[in-house]
Amino acid sequence: MVKLADIQILRGSGLFDEDWYRARYQDVEILGMCAIEHYLWVGARLKRDPSPKFSTTRYLECNPDVEIAGSNPLVHYIRWGRFEGRQAFPVEPKASDTSVIPLARKRSERPSRDAIVYESHNLKLQGAPNSLFEIASGIMRRGNFEPVLMAPRGGPLQQSYAASDIECVFHGIPSEFLLNADRRNSFLQTLSKHYKDANAKLVHVNTLPNYHCVLAAAMAGIPVIWNVRESEDPDSYYDKLPPDLRRLAYSAFAKASTVVFVAEATRQKWVDKLSGVVESVTIHNGIDLGRLMRHVYATNRPTVRSSLGLREDDIVLLNVGTVNKRKGQQDIVDAVQILDDHIKRRLVIAMVGFSPTQYSDYIKQRLEALSKEGVRIIALDETTSEEERRRVAELYLASDIFVLTSRIESYPRVILEAMGFGLAIISTPCFGVKEQLVNGISGLFYEEEQIADLSGKIRLLCDDREKRIQLGFAARAQLSRLNSYDQMLDAYERVYKSVLRKNSIQVKSA
């Protein structure tokens, strides 16, 4: 929690420039927060500077004990550091402060670093591929390793990787190719050669469908980190595969060096299956919230709501995610269906993630029926470009309530995004969601298909503005206690270094 005493000491220190901070970090204005509170809440953890006179990063680099203790660097300097003879450093201009994106350089033109291949099953703007991109791009910025993206084919995220100066290789070998038993080994060998040609010291494989990438890396003698982001039943996940391929997929776990889960609840489901087979750890997702918020830096909530034709007393209920049975959006339309008419007339349902599927079409038909009862609808297809993400960011900014209806999720990004925008959240308590939110404090839980309960919670938040605001503030505060983006990157780098160290010892002993 932000302490009033800390706010007062920063305000009177002469080292915090509120106007400068708001101008430099425009998401503060978007969130409607006091600049000093933002810095104390999350700004320092993001290594943001409070004024040109004080560099957060330099102070923490020179005083690692401050970061280890979890102290706010500027508060520490004012209260203790200056009296202990510790130095405050001015902020140095950075090339990254400009809006010019340099042309991508070839790997040979950069300092030599150990290459890590990041293997993504697709490059859509969806949860798992987005999370892998943010890991790879963050590792690239840190400069300790050389990320290389590999995927079966290109997609919308390809441009983001290129803009991050990350080499992209499209090998054209999705897991479905292994259904061809006659050519299976040939495909694995080809993929293995791609990893060798990249001079990879480590392969970071994303998601369970990429089991063949784990096998290919093992064939090349390259250690593997395997990110499991799914929470389906471990014993039946690969049941759709032919029996021989199913056995091969499960055998991949013994080939990995470490399996990284993004939710402890998911890891616990796999513990018995992986015990004695492979080491497993949990690293909660931290997200680069600025990547989404930058789309609304030049606007504000009233402007966006006006552009959407919203009235002052309208309540916007937002759901973001691929519209499918697993994500259960039918709960929303069923719950809104039984609301009182006076609430329906104020309610706007914004749903993002439609695609040409039978379930999507069904939900659209249900939403159209609700529109005839006075509920206004904003329906967007799945985003296919960073530019289209602007619409999503605007909807987060314009919304009042976020509803997650998923049956299965590990540690959903959309919950973190909704927390960052300070929305009141209603969610199913599936897996990692219980590690993100505290029921009744930073969010409200309902059990899937419990329509009356969901409808009651929507009614409560529509009628009680103070409750919405209270939950939104609590969600934002809870986000500050979860893994930050940098803390997530720290954790992955520790795993990388540990695996590479163990592999080096094994190679030497051999």
One domain, residues 256 and 402: no
The whole-number average pLDDT for the span 172-198 is: 93
Q: Name which residue leads in pLDDT, 13 or 118.
A: 118
Residue 99 has pLDDT above 60, yes or no: no
pLDDT tens, position by position, 407-437: 999 999 999 999 999 999 999 999 999 999 9
Angle between helices 358-371 and 330-337 (to 10 degrees): 20
Contact 270, 228 (CB under 8 A): yes
Q: Are residues 28 and 132 in the same domain?
A: no
Domain co-membership, 261 together with 119: yes
- DSSP string covering 103-134: PPPPGGGS----EEEEE-S--SSSHHHHHHHH
330-337 and 451-463 helices, crossing angle to 10°: 70
Q: What per-residue confidence (pLDDT) applies to 337?
A: 96
Claim to verify: residue 371 and residue 450 sit in the same structural domain: yes
Beta bridge partners of 115: 146, 200
Give the pLDDT confidence score for residue 479 in this predicted structure. Answer: 92
Span 197-225, mean pLDDT?
96
Residue 107 has a pLDDT of: 57
Domain boundary among 38, 62, 93: 93
Q: What's the total number of domains in the chain?
A: 3
Cα 461 from Cα 467, distance rounded (Å): 6
In the prediction, which pLDDT does 219 show? 96
> Does 260 lie in the same domain as 312?
no
Question: Which CATH number goes with the domain that contains 178?
Answer: 3.40.50.2000
Q: How far apart are CA 150 and CA 217, in angstroms?
A: 12
Query: Residue 103 falls within a domain, yes or no?
Result: no
Residue 102 lies in a domain: no
On whether residue 359 sits in a domain, the answer given is yes
Confidence of residue 106 (pLDDT cuts 50, 70, 90): low
Q: Examine the domain organization and report whether 450 and 305 are in the same domain.
A: yes
Q: What is the pLDDT of residue 50?
A: 94
Same domain, 114 and 141: yes
Residue 73 maps to a domain? yes
In a domain, residue 26? The reply is yes
The reply to whether 366 and 499 lie within a common domain is: no
Please give the mean pLDDT across all residues of the chain: 90
pLDDT beyond 80 at 266: yes
Look at 46-50, 331-335, 391-395 and tell me which has the smallest mean pLDDT. Answer: 46-50
pLDDT of amino acid 102: 35
Judged against a pLDDT cut of 80, whether residue 346 lies above it is answered with yes
Is the residue at 404 inside a domain?
yes
For 337, the domain range is 289-481
When pLDDT is averaged across residues 386-391 and rounded to a whole number, the result is: 84
96 vs 429: which has the higher pLDDT:
429
Taking CB atoms within 8 Å and a gap of at least 24, the contacts of 54-62 are: 54/15, 54/16, 54/88, 54/89, 54/90, 54/91, 55/88, 55/89, 55/90, 55/91, 55/92, 58/89, 59/86, 59/88, 59/89, 62/86, 62/87, 62/89
- Mean pLDDT of the region 84-111: 58
The verdict on residue 104 lying in a domain is: no
Q: Do the domain assignments include residue 22?
A: yes
Summarised one tens digit per residue, pLDDT across range 449-467 is 999 999 999 999 999 999 9
Same-domain pairing of 264 and 139:
yes
Mean pLDDT of the 10-29 span: 86
Residue 187 shares a structural domain with residue 79: no
Q: In this model, does residue 143 exceed pLDDT 60?
A: yes
Q: Can you give the pLDDT at residue 17? A: 93
Whether residue 246 is found in the same domain as residue 329:
no
User: Confidence class of residue 96 from pLDDT cuts 50, 70 and 90?
Assistant: very low
* 259 backbone dihedrals φ, ψ, rounded to 5°: -105, 125
Q: Do 165 and 303 belong together in one domain?
A: no
